[in-house]
Amino acid sequence: MRQLYPGLLALGSAVLALPALAQSEAGVGGVVRNDAGQPIPGATVFIKGTLIGTGTNREGQFSLPADFSDGPVVISVSFVGYETRELALSKPTPDVVVTLNDAVTLNEVVVAASRVEEALQQAPVTVEKVGAAQVQRLPPPDVLAGLNQFKGIDVNSSSMVMSSLSTRGFNSPKSERVIQLVDYFDTQSPSLNINSGNLTGIPELDIASIEVIHGPASALYGANAFNGVVLLNSKDPFVTEGFSARVRGGQRSYFDGQVRYAHTIGKRFAFKVVGSYLTADDWLASNYSAASTRVTPNNNAAGSPQGYDAVNRYGDVSNTFNPAQQFPGGTATELYGKTVFMPGFTEQTLIAGDDKAKAFKVVPTISYLLTDKLKATVAASINRGTATYQSSSRYRLRDFGTNQYRGELRGERWFLRGSSTQDFGNNSYDLGFLGSFIQNSPVAAGAPATYAQQFFGTYNNAFKQARNGGATVDQALATAQSVANATQLDPSSARFGELRSAIIKDSRPGLGARLNPSSLLNEGNAQYDFRFGESTSLIVGASYRKFRLGSNGEFFSDDNQRIQNHEVGGYTQLTHQLLDDRLKLALAVRVDGFKNFDPAVSPRASAVYSLGANRQHSFRASYGRAFRSPTQLDQYVRLDVGPVLLLGNVGSGFDGLTLPSGTTPSSPIHVDPLQLERLSTYEVGYRGTLSNKLYIDLNYYRSQYNDFIGAQRFLGNPNGTATAPLRVLQVWTNADQEVHTQGGSAGVNYNVAKPLTLSANYSLNVLDRSRIKDANFQTFFNTPKHKYNVGASGTAGQLSYSANYRWAQGHLYETPFAVGELSNYSSLDAYVGYTIPRLATTVQAGGANLLNSNNVQVYGGPNIGRLAYLGLLVDIK
């Protein structure tokens, strides 16, 4: 980050020092209306071929400078839901009247699919675009979580403001197979490689649009654009000026305040400041079913008198009685081989007063037009939040956040971007560690016995006494459990509070639960769009990223200095149109190099053909390959959790012994070092309109996955050999199993009239287990086979509204933390707004999961229940 500061300062100084270029200019202005003669506020007006643009005010009026010294200029006027219009002007014109006709989704412009602007109709892959008006209607509290209303997009929420997105299967709470961008800048946490919903994104008031690519996109975006790309486009301060503020409050002490101010100074300088603060009572997990034996091999059934490991209880420490154990009075022989569990503590008990979800964002931006075709932008993004994240455990990310500093130079057909991101764990902690370390703490300061030792000793003695008193074995087990449970530390005691506080603050491996890595990601990328006539274009781009991982040896293997890791890539895409521009062919290829892995080549070939008098029917087909790079944790973790030592695996692999199981002894094993995970996908699709009212989008895909990344446990030496001393190690490696999936989605929008648009979509995702030889192989597919949405939305005068019902079929959900079956889950979401023009104010009401239906999206996560709100939006353009 220090290396970036001088560059940003130099760029800022150069920008501010440049004198305004002397030009012969006069104004262009007017009003933008719909076909009913009503003004359209927020429409975008650009001078074609330049970066000069503005937006219309509440009365639909606009004004912007234009240079007629080289002849006529063309203005391009657009707004979501209307056809884009271009008008040629030969002289300064202050009273232009532009009428936009209603349009369907095909006329939308997207940039994510091909990294250049193109009509959605011409996009070679499945892509979803959500406009600013739709963003405001999405249910609270996380705008990205609301994207599950759209076809093919799955959202997994592990707490109030912690959500992850995926498309086409293999969902998880971590989003490791999807990349998330804000204005093309990566928002991931460098340490954890996660995108935590919109926690590290931008406030909704500054979102101009959201684009989601379905399926592989590594050919243009590189590593981890495996199952999709999420691009948030922010509002340009040149185009969207003015002051906006939004306040919402509702159930669960929900409060969300946002503010945005943007202003231009002269023709060339613009700035904006955006901020938001959200807080609410968080959703906490409360699944007390017995953990799967895939997670806890020696677990007992729920309700067992020997206790059991519950999914959302932490510190349910176990002990398997054996003759070698020394308990006062001797161990009861009838307990030999039996595993007994402590009761542990609930998530609510351990989180205690940390149960508020929080999200804080501040995003200042400065833009300067060096020329009409060259713009410089510098920005910062400061984010902090509190949420619960789920992976190998459930982690309370308290005051977790990132600082990102970024800069961009952008021309008409090229850009140069750079950014530096640093994350902060701050006061985050592992709930599993916290519960376990409390149980293994001394029963009093300086005492030799721990709470766990006291518990199992009491259980042993109570069992023996009950048997000596004539009780049956089952009766004695129940008695022993009752007596021993009374010895667990009382959560309301002062001792519990002292231990909880001390362990949360302690980051030493094996002693404390605090997680406070602080790593950096420096990134740069560039692209140029070459044009060869009207029908052919070639884009060429490159990127470089460097990770500098830091944890002071408490999380990574970085004892003395930060770990350095890097990736570099280059890509190109050739596009050619023929047959009167009805057929669009594209071929893209990207090559990426890594410090720890072999180079990867990602191709994509596509064709789009348009039919109809207005080219309103388009058919597409594509083939793409993608890859996923192991996370920085997979590569470099070193974390001692007591029974198991977690290690990265980027060296020469490990020699060791398999873990003994029952009567099966250990045998020699070699664990290969990590390599990239790979994916190949074929897709066909159709987009079209009928009578300019009905919009249809269909797609079908088949995918093949290789080299799945997963964890493996064995007996070994941390130095990679099988020599003594041996202990249980867990490393990440690739599975020798090919996996096939297929599916599709269908979306329909019908514009009955301006006040009413009906929508419906259906998604199908199928995992083909017939080709998987090992019945116990975990795919982590985690995706409903069937899912649908039905909804209605519209505007009538000053009233706007939307309603959506979502249903998803239950399915198996697998994470390292928990494995189990999700029941069917659903949600009814709604929004209504009424605008008072003379006050520039909109009164809002809405909510998520209004029927309070079962809505558990992550096994081991919470039920995402009802959250209703009232709010006010002030928008002064």
Q: Mark out the alpha helices in 198-243 (DSSP H runs).
A: 218-221
Using one digit for the tens of pLDDT, what is the confidence trace for 289-308? Answer: 999 998 898 999 999 999 99
Distance of alpha carbon 252 from its chain centroid, rounded? 24
Indicate if the pLDDT at residue 6 is higher than 70. Answer: no
pLDDT score at 754: 77
pLDDT given at position 740: 96
Q: Output the CA torsion sign for 829, 835, 840, 842.
A: negative
Mean pLDDT score of the chain, rounded to an integer? Answer: 92
Provide the pLDDT for residue 774.
Answer: 83
Q: Specify the higher pLDDT residue, 303 or 710.
A: 303
Cβ atoms of residues 575 and 586 within 8 Å: yes
Percentage with pLDDT > 70 across the chain:
96
For the residues 219-244, what does the mean pLDDT come to? 94
Confidence category of residue 605, pLDDT binned at 50, 70, 90:
very high
Q: Is the pLDDT of residue 20 over 90?
A: no
Beta-ladder partners of 591: 570, 601
Cβ neighbours for 22, distance < 8 A, ≥ 6 positions apart: none
CB atoms within 10 A of CB 369: 23
Name the least confident of 65-74, 229-238, 520-529.
65-74
Q: CA–CA separation, 429 vs 769, rounded Å?
A: 37
Q: What is the pLDDT of residues 307-337, one digit of tens each?
A: 999 999 999 999 999 998 888 888 999 999 9
Provide Rg for the chain, Cα atoms. 29
Average pLDDT rounded to a whole number, residues 562-590: 96
Question: What per-residue confidence (pLDDT) applies to 79?
Answer: 83
User: How is the beta sheet containing 73-78 ordered, strand by strand?
Assistant: 53-55, 44-47, 73-78, 85-89
The per-residue pLDDT for range 789-816, each reduced to its tens digit, is 999 999 998 999 999 999 999 999 999 8
Hey, which residues does 317 pair with through a beta bridge? none
pLDDT in tens, 826-860: 999 999 999 999 999 999 999 999 999 999 999 99
Q: What is the mean pLDDT of residues 144-167?
A: 94
Nearest to 247 by CA among 876, 866, 834, 843: 843
Output the pLDDT for position 867: 98
pLDDT at res. 775: 82
Confidence class of residue 55 from pLDDT cuts 50, 70 and 90?
confident
- Is residue 405 within 8 Å of 2, Cβ to Cβ? no
- Classify the C-alpha dihedral 494-495-499-505 as positive or negative: positive
Would you say residue 640 has pLDDT above 80? yes
Residue 286: C-alpha distances to residues 91, 291, 292, 723 (Å): 68, 13, 16, 43
- 657 and 714 Cβ atoms separated by less than 8 Å: yes
